[in-house]
């Protein structure tokens, strides 16, 4: 290696090791902001970059909008000058490292929407310079870093592994998780070259407890997809089991709880009204999209996607049957939905199956209302729907559907107030009543 290259790599290594490296984080959401805070906490100077000026202003005022970063924790880093935010990518010319943590949604056609990653990488490439470490964290299809990002930098004459260093590191943030936060979730990182991997691992080691280097960016990209595809397929399996048990008159919840007593070789998943969130329903389709190009059908993923996608219809069938047994048509009935967030105790409604359940019930002529302490209103078919108080609405309804099992709900009071309940989450596990219809 020529002496200039060694000095570029060596200088970056020294800056990282000495914590004088100036850190950049592009994308200040539920992934980027907690990461920024961990590096500021480790004493490095962090510049957050986001295209939304309102977010930048809020952060520079010391106010956090991310659930896992309380303002009282965040503000001191701004006051000490360890964190500042900007919309101006040109600051990258003065930075030593930059992480990309922008959204990678799927289009309706289940094709990856890489537009946020591409625009961020193009901006970074404009200001990239020898000695810059670039790490993509957004969940994406295997090959993205190598095939999409690498050329953007090399066409500017910057040799990866010599002038700049390029890695992928999957984000594993689980919003609201009380036990696992950014600092103590093991961090997988893989680089285009061994020097990239080594510098990426050294970088994360400055702020995070455990770093897991792997041999390439593609391995690192696949790790994340395996993790979330594993969940999606196993949720699909128990959802199919729920439909089988329903047909056979077997209590699927009792089956799973008993299976979960097996001390090895089993991991319980639970049936539900469908698959919500911005990870599990999305990430596996990045894998199937890419493998399709390689001529391999990801049949498990497609099948699990079909089963999980059919759960809202299954729930509505259960409601229809329950009302029918009470000699009531869905058409004209008032149905109250308890919980619309995509999973319990969070305020996120993205891809929530509750939205599908509500639309399907309305299509059958039902009058639908909802309660959710975390979600005051939802957008449905272009209109706003306001949440209402739970017990009053439940008492007035012909049927209540528990779609999200928030722990803040008083299930005994809900049972007392309701005429009929379809429980899609076994939230009333400890309650006995002929009014309860379980999934
Ligand atoms: N769900 C079921 N049955 C289950 C588990 C989940 O129906 O047994 C449903 C949930 O209700 C939700 C959807 O699946 O609608 C996704 O739930 P999730 O528990 O997987 O939660 P997410 O989407 O917040 O997933 C995140 C992921 N984190 C990252 O990608 C970094 C996932 O890898 C985590 O394992 C998961 O949090 C977690 O364990 O909380």
Strand spans (E) along 274-420: 334-338, 367-371, 377-380, 383-386, 399-402
Give the mutation target among 140, 177, 235, 350 for probing the ligand 1 site: most ligand atoms within 8 A of CB: 235
> Tokens standing for 242?
């729920």
Q: Whose CA is nearest to atom 15 of ligand 1?
A: 276
Give the mutation target among 277, 404, 424 for probing the ligand 1 site: most ligand atoms within 8 A of CB: 277
The whole-angstrom distance between residue 254's C-alpha and the CA centroid of its chain comes to 29
Q: What is the mean pLDDT of residues 298-320?
A: 96
Kindly state the percentage of the chain with pLDDT values over 90. 93
What local confidence, expressed as pLDDT, does residue 302 receive?
92
| Least reliable range by pLDDT among 167-176, 327-336, 365-374, 383-392 | 167-176
Say yes or no: CB of residue 272 within 6 Å of ligand 1: yes
d(CA 230, CA 207): 29
What local confidence, expressed as pLDDT, does residue 141 receive?
95
Q: What is the mean pLDDT of residues 20-40?
A: 97
Say yes or no: CB of residue 173 within 6 Å of ligand 1: yes
What local confidence, expressed as pLDDT, does residue 2 receive?
67
What local confidence, expressed as pLDDT, does residue 1 receive?
56
d(CA 243, CA 97): 50
End-to-end CA gap in the chain: 64
For tokens 């008159």, the residue is 249
H or E, element range at 23:
strand 22-26
Q: Is 85 helix (H, G, I), strand (E, B) or coil?
A: strand
d(CA 283, CA 414): 36
Which residues, at least 6 apart from 145, have a Cβ–Cβ distance to it below 8 Å?
136, 166, 167, 168, 192, 217, 218, 221
Residue 411 CA to ligand 1 center (angstroms) comes to 23
Catalytic residue among 167, 196, 279, 399: 279
Say yes or no: CB of residue 270 within 6 Å of ligand 1: yes
pLDDT tens per residue, range 210-261: 999 999 999 999 999 999 999 999 999 999 999 999 999 999 999 999 999 9
Say yes or no: CB of residue 277 within 6 Å of ligand 1: yes
Say yes or no: CB of residue 276 within 6 Å of ligand 1: yes
User: Residue 346: pLDDT band by 50, 70, 90 thresholds?
Assistant: confident
Say yes or no: CB of residue 241 within 6 Å of ligand 1: no
The answer to whether residue 147 scores a pLDDT higher than 70 is: yes
pLDDT tens per residue, range 61-93: 999 999 899 999 999 999 999 999 999 999 999
Residue 280 CA to ligand 1 center (angstroms) comes to 6
| Least reliable range by pLDDT among 101-115, 249-263, 396-410, 420-434 | 101-115
> Tokens standing for 420?
């009929």
The answer to whether residue 183 scores a pLDDT higher than 80 is: yes
Write down the pTM of the prediction: 0.92
Q: How far is CA 318 from CA 17, 305, 328, in A?
A: 59, 21, 13
The answer to whether residue 380 scores a pLDDT higher than 80 is: yes
Residue 246 CA to ligand 1 center (angstroms) comes to 24
Q: Is 279 a catalytic residue?
A: yes
Of all atoms in ligand 1, which is nearest to the CA of residue 234? 8
Q: What is the mean pLDDT of residues 374-381?
A: 95
Say yes or no: CB of residue 282 within 6 Å of ligand 1: no
| Angle formed by the axes of helices 194-205 and 3-17, nearest 10° | 20
Q: Confirm if 287 and 225 have CB atoms less than 8 A apart.
A: yes
What local confidence, expressed as pLDDT, does residue 109 receive?
84
What local confidence, expressed as pLDDT, does residue 276 receive?
94
User: Which domains are present in the chain?
Assistant: 3-215 (3.40.50.720), 231-438 (3.40.50.720)
> Tokens standing for 340?
């619309």
- Looking at every residue in the chain, the average pLDDT score rounds to 96
Of all atoms in ligand 1, which is nearest to the CA of residue 278? 23
């Amino acid at each position: 290696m020529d002496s200039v290259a060694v000095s570029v790599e060596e200088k970056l290594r020294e800056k990282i090791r000495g914590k004088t490296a100036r850190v950049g984080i592009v994308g200040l959401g539920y992934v980027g902001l907690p990461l920024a805070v961990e590096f500021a906490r480790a004493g490095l100077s962090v510049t957050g970059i986001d295209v939304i000026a309102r977010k930048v202003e809020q952060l520079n005022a010391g106010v956090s909008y991310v659930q896992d970063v309380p303002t009282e924790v965040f503000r001191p880093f701004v006051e000490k000058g360890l964190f500042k935010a900007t919309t101006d990518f040109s600051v990258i010319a003065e930075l030593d490292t930059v992480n990309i943590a922008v959204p990678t949604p799927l289009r309706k056609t289940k094709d990856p929407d890489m537009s946020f990653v591409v625009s961020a990488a193009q901006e970074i490439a404009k200001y990239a310079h020898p000695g810059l470490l670039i790490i993509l964290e957004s969940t994406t299809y295997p090959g993205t870093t190598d095939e999409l990002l690498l050329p953007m930098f090399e066409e500017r004459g910057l040799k990866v592994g010599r002038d700049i260093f390029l890695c992928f590191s999957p984000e594993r943030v689980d919003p609201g998780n009380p036990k696992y936060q950014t600092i103590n979730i093991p961090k997988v990182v893989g680089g285009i070259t061994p020097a990239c991997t080594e510098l990426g691992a050294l970088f994360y080691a400055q702020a995070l407890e455990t770093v897991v280097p792997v041999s390439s960016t593609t391995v690192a990209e696949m790790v994340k997809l395996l993790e979330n595809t594993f969940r999606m397929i196993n949720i699909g399996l128990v959802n199919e089991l729920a439909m089988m048990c329903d047909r056979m008159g077997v209590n699927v919840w009792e089956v799973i709880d008993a299976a979960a007593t097996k001390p090895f070789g089993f991991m319980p998943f639970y049936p539900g009204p469908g698959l919500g969130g911005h990870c599990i329903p999305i990430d596996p389709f990045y894998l199937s999209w890419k493998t399709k190009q390689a001529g391999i059908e990801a049949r498990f993923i497609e099948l699990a996607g079909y089963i999980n996608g059919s759960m809202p219809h299954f729930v509505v069938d259960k409601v229809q049957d329950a009302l029918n047994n009470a000699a009531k048509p869905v058409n004209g009935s008032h149905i109250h939905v308890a919980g619309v967030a995509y999973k319990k105790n969070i305020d996120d409604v993205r891809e929530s199956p509750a939205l599908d359940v509500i639309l399907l019930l309305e299509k059958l002529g039902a009058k639908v209302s909802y309660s959710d302490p975390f979600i005051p209103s939802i957008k449905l078919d272009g209109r706003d729907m306001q949440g209402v108080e739970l017990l009053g609405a439940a008492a007035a309804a012909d049927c209540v559907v528990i779609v999200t099992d928030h722990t803040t709900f008083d299930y005994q009071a809900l049972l007392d107030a309701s005429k009929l309940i379809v429980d899609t989450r076994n939230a009333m596990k400890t309650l006995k009543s002929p009014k309860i219809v379980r999934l």
